[in-house]
Amino acid sequence: MIGANLLGSHCVPAAKACSQRLIGRVVQTTTGRRGLANLAIFAAAKRLAQSSEPDERNRVAIVDEAGAHTYADLLNDARKVRAALGNADHKGASIAMLMPNSYEYAAIQWGIWAAGGAVVPLSPMHPERELEYFITNSESTKVICHPALLENLRPVLDRLGSAVTVLGSDEIMGMPVATHAEQGPDPEISEDQSALFIYTSGTTGKPKGVVHTHATIAAQVSALYTAWGWTPSDRLLHMLPLHHVHGIVVALCSALWTGATTEMLPKFDKNTVWNRIIDGPQDISILMGVPTMYARLLSAMEEMSPERQAAARASMGRLRLTISGSAALPASVFRKWQQATGQAMLERYGMSEIGMALSNDARTPAARKVGSVGKPLPMVQVRLTDAEGLDVTDTPGASGMIEVKGPNVFHEYYGMPEKTAKEFTSDGWFITGDIGTRDSDGLYYIMGRQSVDIIKSGGFKLSALEIERELLEHPNVTDVAVVGIPDEEWGEVVAAAVVLKTGTVLDISDLKPWCHERMARYKTPKMLKTVNALPRNLMGKLDKKAVKTLFTN
């Protein structure tokens, strides 16, 4: 058991207020200052728990390995967490949590919000040095930890000493539910109060703490609620990590906002996913994943018997949406997924700082184009600016920096005011760092990160993502990463690291003729390296900095 006594006295200052960001449904439910029951994210839970209809009152919020948990359970357990934190108003102070993917994750998260704190989600997959960095950088003085994960955290706690208090989730969940009178008045939680830290991948430096407020989270979820047509009858199969905006906000918060049911897997496993979809109740309606997950699901499907493949396709046909994000979806995966399952993948675009900004059409599968990330979500503005700062959004095919404005945009990089200011234009648009284009139908396409995915070779600006999409069509290639390597003559040359199908070979002399039939010669890789696996982060994104070292070391 982990002691729950306070060991430190350091307090994190309340986050500074930012400009009010409210939209549609949020205006109606969260104006002014509210407590536990009236935060927008809690609205559906409160309505269901207080309903006179038994079916609604007993609505299941989350299913995990321990069983089914209702929305009433979730509210009660959130109050336990609030009580364990002292029934104080934490006023946006950072509170870290290290929990497995389970119902208790959501209960702890909601409890921190109920106490007025800002959630700093830690992952069991984070190495020791990252756990320490996230705790210290966010100035968290409290960590709620699952007992099974305490060993991950113990070396960090030994170094931090009394600066950090640890509370055991088992002790909290075992507490009786206090009455409202015992808990005292609800804390006055401002919509512009810090609510969630999301740490960037840190590929260009140390990870930055992206701070979202209750208002920005509500704006993001409300937009997805409208655009994707979420309903209480939806059932999400949750297989994503819970330390990133994808798993936390896009998946879990969207389902709970709606009053839908989330079926939570402890981790992604391709066989577990297929077994649940094929053999379990045919009630899953939404699947969200990253491209690597879908590629592995396809690989597993190829190994099935013809009868099992037919069952998989039939079960997938009952889903309302299969959604891909966090990394570019290869065209080959889009086509193979549609051919194998009958599902036209819905690709969308977002990042830690903005949640989701663009999405393909959720209601009309035929409107989704291969390689497109769709159109702006409700209340989100998107524009493209060229190197001279000119707006080229309305010029089909023109490439430019993707810039975003709206109530979904984050509040700040924690403790980095200069960096925060630098990432916005003088007229208030967030500079994403991604280069994109827009076609005549108003659909956006991502060319890649300006820093690593745009290769300047012989006077041309080449999209690494475009070249990767083509190389994935090669019959021997199962995975690929394209980077630019410095060169005196060309400025940069195109280099490709590839993972090959078992038993096949490929060298540059064979690849070049194949490429010349499919792309301009100046886009063809001049360097090729075969590897067993490509370096990726926990969300499946390629680590292009690490890929470059394959050619330079």
Secondary structure letter of residue 221 according to DSSP: H
Single-letter amino acid, residue 423: E
Query: Is the Cβ–Cβ distance between 494 and 503 less than 8 Å?
Result: no
Residue 461: band (very low, low, confident or very high) from pLDDT cuts 50, 70, 90: confident
CATH number of the structural domain spanning residue 502: 3.30.300.30
Average pLDDT value for residue range 114-119: 94
Percent of the chain beyond pLDDT 70?
A: 91
Task: Answer whether residue 300 is part of any domain.
Answer: no
Distances (CA, A) of 140 to 8, 90, 95, 149, 436: 11, 12, 5, 18, 37
Q: Look at residue 475 in the predicted model and tell me its pLDDT.
A: 93
Q: How many domains does the chain have?
A: 2
Of 387-401, 444-458, 472-486, minimum mean pLDDT range: 444-458
| Helix (H/G/I), strand (E/B), else coil: 353 | coil
Task: Answer whether residue 439 is part of any domain.
Answer: no
Among 218, 234, 253, the domain boundary falls at: 218
Give the DSSP letter string of 281-323.
Answer: -TT--EEEE-HHHHHHHHHHHHTS-HHHHHHHHHHHTT-SEEE
Task: Answer whether residue 118 is part of any domain.
Answer: yes
Q: Look at residue 206 in the predicted model and tell me its pLDDT.
A: 79
Mean model confidence pLDDT for the chain: 88
Query: Is the Cβ–Cβ distance between 77 and 49 less than 8 Å?
Result: no
Task: Answer whether residue 316 is part of any domain.
Answer: no
Query: Is the Cβ–Cβ distance between 224 and 356 less than 8 Å?
Result: yes
Among 178, 194, 218, the domain boundary falls at: 218
Task: Answer whether residue 192 is part of any domain.
Answer: yes
Q: Is the pLDDT of residue 395 over 80?
A: yes
Average pLDDT value for residue range 506-524: 90
- Structural domain boundaries enclosing 468: 454-552
Q: Is the pLDDT of residue 537 over 90?
A: no
Task: Answer whether residue 427 is part of any domain.
Answer: no
Distance CA 332, CA 337 (A): 8
Q: Is the pLDDT of residue 204 over 60?
A: no
Task: Answer whether residue 146 is part of any domain.
Answer: yes
Task: Answer whether residue 473 is part of any domain.
Answer: yes
CATH number of the structural domain spanning residue 155: 3.40.50.12780
Among 179, 201, 218, the domain boundary falls at: 218
Query: Is the Cβ–Cβ distance between 191 and 20 less than 8 Å?
Result: yes
Residue 449: band (very low, low, confident or very high) from pLDDT cuts 50, 70, 90: confident
